[in-house]
Amino acid sequence: MTLLKCPITFLLIVASAFASAAETKKKPNVIVILTDDMGYADLRMFGDSEIPTPNLQHLADSGVKLTNAHVSAPICVASRMGLLTGRYQHRFGVYDNVYSPKENRLWVRERTLADELKHHGYRTANVGKWHLSGNGRSMPWLLPGPHERGFDEFVGIEGGMDDFWAGTSLLRFQDGRYISFDAPKYLTDFFADEAVAFIEHNKAQPFFLYLGFNAPHAPLHALDDDQAVVEASWISPERRIYGGMIVAIDRAVGEVLNALNKHGLRKDTLVIFLNDNGGGGNNAAKHTRNTARNVPFRGHKFDLQQGGVRTPMIVSWPGTLPGGQTFAGLSSSLDIVPTALAAAGIDPPTDREIDGVNLLPFLTGGNNGEPHDFLCWQQRQWTRPNQRSPGVNMRTLHQFAIRSGDWKAIRNDQPIADSKAKRRSWELYDLSRDPGELQDVATEYPKITERLAIQFEDWQSQMQTAIQPASMNPKR
């Protein structure tokens, strides 16, 4: 009997062939590119910047520009923990930069995006800044390193900041151990080389690359040729150096995209670009000032104003996502984990709460709603604005904030340790009219203020209680 005379047999064979093809089809690669302390307005597609970034412009033109994206914290460690888990880092007790096992007792139990993708056959690498196992070259490995958090490969700096010049001491995970070596060239360029090498070595299999630049975090170090590209004559020498650091980032992004194009991987790769927290500007802690511009937003790194938590974000996946589009829905770095898992065809975990949202339906136009009804933040304060609480250890003070639609409520200087302390009033801002958060309208809209306060307190009740750190090292 021929196959044509037995249609059921024929259909079963065809179905089996399609199923086999689906199983063997290469899953999309995932690349997350994270910059460090860059200002929201320092990319021309997000602000009026004098710094040329043609490769990042190309990335935006090939994908979707998210103009209402946020990070989960205004500081390095906490922001990275939220990004890599898709969960509010408050769920595991992180409210600041923390570096000890006591403070991270729950973080070590979390699973990262690298864990999830590696479990499903991805080759994974962290190139650049890690900062989740200690701070500085002299810091011992108090917490699990990248190789225990889902990353097959690591090369970069373990702490929060370092020199950019050739000769800077770096770490590489190789043959089951960490080895120290000196950077052979300017750090941003070296990280680009390592990222390209990883793509080259893994082009035949699905891979996840977490490329975490430490630029343009201080110290301000830039190559002369990169500074010369910033032609503006009116800027300060420091701003020119900062601009040169972003030029180097842009060149690195271009090299990554060129590597993908070279091997025909561009349409098979989801690329997400964003910054870790607000720019340090000229008013943040001295060791982190870098002339970054967050306009039109008020505040900077460390703050829960928009200047501290709003991030420029680009999502590009040619052939799957439309190019040259803008998405203004309320979104977050927490969304990266569920978005990447959805792109890879991996079901989200069911053993823990994921706070992020899969953005793909929103970015393709399949969902016209808002990804988030609201976003919340709680951060241990680094400064006491205007010294309003003299004699109070600033480590006992927290900032609260909640964003819902165009409304943003903030409460600063809230003592955490003393339950009898008088609560400060909530401030309320209408970001549609006041993106700089300059006019407090809480007394004009008391019902909205009350609603947001109740929402925040409900969210806060689901988070792990903040603990008082035994010691703090402010550098990141």
Q: Which residues are catalytic?
A: 76, 131
Q: d(Cα 280, Cα 290) in Å, to the nearest integer?
A: 6
Letter for the amino acid at 128?
G
Phi, psi of 410 (to 5 degrees): -135, 140
Structure token pair of residue 365:
């136009």
Letter for the amino acid at 453?
A
| Local structure of 148: helix, strand or coil | helix
Q: d(Cα 92, Cα 14) in Å, to the nearest integer?
A: 49
b/e per residue 234-256 (b: at least 16 CB within 10 A): ebeeebbbbbbbbbbbbbbbbbb
CB-based contacts of 96, cutoff 8 Å, min separation 6: 75, 77, 78, 379, 380, 382, 469, 472
Tell which residue, 87, 88, 92, has the closest CA to residue 104: 92
Tell which residue, 161, 402, 429, 388, has the closest CA to residue 285: 161
Element (H or E) spanning 178, and its range?
strand 177-182
Question: Where do we find the tokens 């943003």?
Answer: 408
Question: Where do we find the tokens 């909640």?
Answer: 402
Q: d(Cα 315, Cα 413) in Å, to the nearest integer?
A: 36
Q: d(Cα 368, Cα 380) in Å, to the nearest integer?
A: 35
Q: d(Cα 192, Cα 72) in Å, to the nearest integer?
A: 26
Structure token pair of residue 223:
């190559």
Letter for the amino acid at 366?
G
- Cβ-contact 304, 73 below 8 angstroms: no
Of how many residues is the chain composed? 476
Angle 162-30-141 from CA coordinates, rounded to 5° = 35
- Cβ-contact 305, 299 below 8 angstroms: yes
Number of other CB atoms surrounding residue 412 within 10 Å: 23
